[in-house]
Amino acid sequence: MTDYYNYIKSLHLIFVVTWFAGLFYIPRLFIYHIEANQKSSPEKEILTRQLKLMTKRLWFIITWPSAVLATFFAIWLLILYPAWLQQPWMHIKLVFVLLLIAYHLKNHQIFKQLQRDEVRYTSKFMRIWNEGATLILFAVVFLVILKGTFNWIFGVVGIVGLGVLLMLGIKLYKRIRDKNPDA
């Protein structure tokens, strides 16, 4: 059973990694799409067409299948080890997984809007939105690795601190980009 478990766990982790890869990259493509929409013709049309194709391929060939397979293997692991559902760290992890699914579904909504040339968000908003997956990843990894030894106060402070650092990084990048548009 241990070997069987390790294969399922390995597949779960592989698909979690590829799911996150898609979730890290898709908002970047949204940013480029939003900024391309502000260009003049024919650059706008050329960039928009290419970004729609790139986004569609990333979303449907990598991100969605990875999300489904990561979830499938996670459920399989929980069926093999239902006692995990009694662990407090697993309850919190599942809350973060639900947040990740909500984040994924919101990205799907934004994807569909941009495919229809509906630009409803600014590139600045998307730069901040892009950090959502990072915060969830940090929270889940620390929960899974530290489990019962996780100190909740330090965890909450750490996630808030990471969020602050990410926001400062975004502001710094904006300043650098305003000074040098090619950055």
The C-alpha angle with vertex 101 and arms to 95 and 104, in degrees rounded to 5, equals 145
- Is 93 annotated as ligand-binding? yes
- Residue-wise pLDDT for 120-142, tens only, equals 999 989 999 998 999 899 888 88
For 113, residues 6+ apart whose C-beta sits below 8 A from its C-beta are 119, 120
Residue range of the domain that includes 36: 2-179
- Residue-wise pLDDT for 32-46, tens only, equals 999 999 999 999 999
Number of domains in the chain: 1
- Is 112 annotated as ligand-binding? no
- Asked whether the predicted pLDDT for residue 157 surpasses 80, the reply is no
CB 141 within 8 A of CB 162: no
For 97-116, what is the mean pLDDT? Answer: 98
- How far is 125 from 129, CA to CA, in rounded Å? 6
More confident residue, 170 or 63: 63
| pTM for the predicted model, two decimal places | 0.85
> Which amino acid is present at 60?
F
Band (148; pLDDT cuts 50, 70, 90): low
CB 130 within 8 A of CB 24: yes
